[in-house]
Amino acid sequence: MMPDLGKYALAVLSAYGVSLVLIAAIVAQSVLRARRVRRELEKAEARHRNG
């Protein structure tokens, strides 16, 4: 299924690996930030409702 990469196999596979790790880190950071922002927004809305 995978093409023969020859002498570049290590470089290509390493690049794919690093890319996948970075994408996973960006997604995780985005999810964590979204949760934090949602909590802060809920607190601000509660303060506004309660005066």
Domain membership of residue 17 (yes or no) is no
Q: Is the pLDDT confidence value at 51 over 80?
A: no
Domains of the chain: total: 1
pTM of the predicted structure, to 2 decimals: 0.74
Domain span holding position 39:
27-51
What pLDDT digit, counting tens, does each position of 11-35 carry?
Answer: 999 999 999 999 999 999 999 999 9
Assign residue 3 a region: left if phi > 0, alpha if psi is -120 to 50, beta otherwise?
Answer: beta
